[in-house]
């Protein structure tokens, strides 16, 4: 599988999907050559050029150990970069941290909670530590945050008795105590059951609709595909590609050619025969599904002088041959396809 160029020390920029880099004023997060090296020269993040548009839900995608959390810690000023620069909400970090961080809500590597305090009292502590928080409206803010993450009924329970999923919710509530321009979430659905994951995804969409930029780090491809408008793929500390989710899928589809057809039918043998006659290759039949690659215009097997078959004509040919067609269409490339195509590696799709 072909490998795209990655950003390196020669200054080459990683490939992008869609339009080129935006002006800095349109970006909630921007990094240039951001690098973090640990003792012994091990590079956790290598020359990262990242562009996160304001108002987007941006998925920061990569397997565990790819450099995602290290990047976030540099963006938030928790650790120093070895080289390069980072701007958050248009200001340099960590130099402008005092002005930037009050506008940023963050949940990084799980929440740090006081186990002996209730969920509500933990949030009161967090709120009291915020120099811009008005103590007169603290109870209202805490109550609203607990409601948003579905913890109102468990607000009086000690945090040490919370499940991992409940602790994640409480950490997210702490990030939402104040209105934020940017929300940075590192694996926010870690430990949540499927219903909890759906609720967090719905909350992220709601926040984005209100104008908050959400930067969502995850190793779960399915999670990012369902909620994000933009994404970046990391592997071994390097940025592989970034762009809109739709453009990332289109990039893979373009590299594959016309695409892959899927037919759902009980008549798989006849379907394979008809599709083969019309120039499809790589035909596979499993249960009641047949898939195959549509031919390129210049493919030797393409009929009519090298013109790929029209999908409507293919469907008509199947019906004419007596095939009972129950489903028919081309597949859209998923983020799993994008990752595997670009890195040659497998990936954790659903956790």
The gap from C-alpha 272 to its chain's centroid, in whole angstroms, comes to: 36
47, 34 Cβ separation under 8 angstroms: yes
- Lookup: tokens for 181: 């321009």
For 257, left (φ over 0), alpha (ψ -120 to 50), or beta? left
Give the phi and the psi of residue 142 in degrees, each rounded to 5: -65, -45
- With cut-offs at 50, 70 and 90, classify the pLDDT of residue 65: confident
* CA–CA gap between residue 233 and residue 225 (Å, rounded): 12
* CA–CA gap between residue 265 and residue 270 (Å, rounded): 10
302, 308 Cβ separation under 8 angstroms: yes
* CA–CA gap between residue 4 and residue 91 (Å, rounded): 31
**Nearby residues of 158 by Cβ (< 8 Å), 6 or more positions away:** 115, 116, 117, 118
pTM: 0.71
Sheet holding 16-17, edge to edge: 16-17, 238-244, 230-235, 57-61, 213-218, 182-186, 104-107
- With cut-offs at 50, 70 and 90, classify the pLDDT of residue 310: confident
Residue 204 has pLDDT above 50, yes or no: yes
Q: Residues 61-65: what's their mean pLDDT? A: 81
Q: Residues 274-278: what's their mean pLDDT? A: 92
Identify any residues that bridge with 58 across adjacent strands, giving them in sequence order: 215, 230
- Lookup: tokens for 144: 């609203």
* CA–CA gap between residue 69 and residue 45 (Å, rounded): 10
- With cut-offs at 50, 70 and 90, classify the pLDDT of residue 136: very high
What is the chain's mean pLDDT, rounded?
82
**Residue written as tokens 């990752």?**
339
Residue 144 has pLDDT above 90, yes or no: yes
Instruction: List the domain boundaries for the chain.
Output: 16-252, 260-330
Other residues' Cβ atoms within 10 Å of the Cβ of residue 114: 13
Look at residues 82, 88, 34 and name the one whose alpha carbon lies nearest to residue 239: 34
Q: Place domain 16-252 in its CATH homologous superfamily.
A: P-loop containing nucleotide triphosphate hydrolases (3.40.50.300)
* CA–CA gap between residue 269 and residue 83 (Å, rounded): 59
* pLDDT single digits (tens) 5-49: 333 334 444 455 544 445 556 899 999 999 999 888 889 999 999
* CA–CA gap between residue 338 and residue 315 (Å, rounded): 28
The domain 260-330 having CATH identifier 3.30.70.100: the answer here is: yes
Distances (CA, A) of 68 to 12, 44, 192, 203, 293: 20, 9, 20, 22, 35
**Residue written as tokens 């590079």?**
43
Q: Residues 57-82: what's their mean pLDDT? A: 91
- Lookup: tokens for 73: 């810690």
Cα Rg, the chain, nearest whole Å: 24
Identify any residues that bridge with 291 across adjacent strands, giving them in sequence order: 262, 284
* CA–CA gap between residue 271 and residue 265 (Å, rounded): 8
- With cut-offs at 50, 70 and 90, classify the pLDDT of residue 123: very high
Opening angle at CA 144, ends 138 and 148, nearest 5 = 145
257, 272 Cβ separation under 8 angstroms: no
Which range of 100-104, 194-198, 204-208, 224-228 scores highest in mean pLDDT? It is 100-104
The mean-pLDDT minimum among 28-32, 110-114, 204-208 falls in: 110-114
* CA–CA gap between residue 146 and residue 142 (Å, rounded): 6
């Amino acid at each position: 599988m072909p490998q795209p160029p990655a950003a390196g020390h020669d200054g080459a920029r990683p490939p992008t999907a869609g339009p080129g880099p935006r002006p800095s004023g349109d970006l909630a997060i921007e990094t240039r050559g951001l690098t973090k090296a640990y003792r012994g020269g091990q590079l956790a993040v290598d020359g990262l050029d990242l562009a996160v548009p304001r108002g987007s839900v941006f998925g920061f995608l990569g397997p565990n150990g790819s450099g995602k959390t290290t990047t976030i810690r540099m963006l938030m000023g928790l650790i120093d970069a070895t080289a390069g620069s980072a701007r958050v909400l248009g200001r340099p970090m960590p130099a402008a941290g005092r002005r930037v961080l009050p506008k940023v809500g963050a949940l990084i590597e799980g929440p740090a909670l006081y186990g002996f305090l209730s969920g509500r009292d933990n949030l009161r502590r967090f709120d009291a530590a915020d120099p811009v928080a008005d103590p007169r409206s603290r109870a209202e803010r805490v109550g609203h945050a607990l409601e948003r993450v579905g913890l109102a009924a468990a607000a009086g329970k000690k945090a040490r008795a919370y499940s991992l999923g409940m602790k994640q919710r409480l950490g997210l509530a702490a990030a939402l105590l104040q209105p934020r321009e940017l929300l940075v979430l590192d694996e926010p659905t870690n430990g949540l059951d499927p219903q909890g994951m759906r609720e967090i995804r719905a909350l992220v969409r709601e926040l984005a609709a209100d104008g908050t930029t959400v930067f969502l780090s995850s190793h779960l491809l399915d999670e990012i595909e369902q909620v994000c408008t933009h994404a970046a793929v990391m592997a071994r500390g390097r940025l592989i590609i970034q762009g809109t989710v739709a453009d990332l899928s289109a990039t893979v589809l373009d590299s594959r050619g016309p695409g892959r057809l899927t037919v759902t039918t009980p008549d798989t043998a006849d379907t394979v025969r008809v599709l083969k006659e019309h120039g499809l290759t790589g035909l596979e039949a499993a249960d009641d599904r047949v898939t195959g690659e549509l031919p390129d215009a210049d493919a030797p097997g393409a009929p009519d002088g090298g013109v790929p078959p029209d999908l409507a004509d293919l469907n008509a040919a199947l019906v004419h041959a007596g095939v009972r067609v129950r489903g028919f269409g081309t597949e859209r490339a998923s983020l799993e396809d994008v990752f595997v195509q670009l890195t040659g590696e497998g990936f954790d799709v659903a956790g």
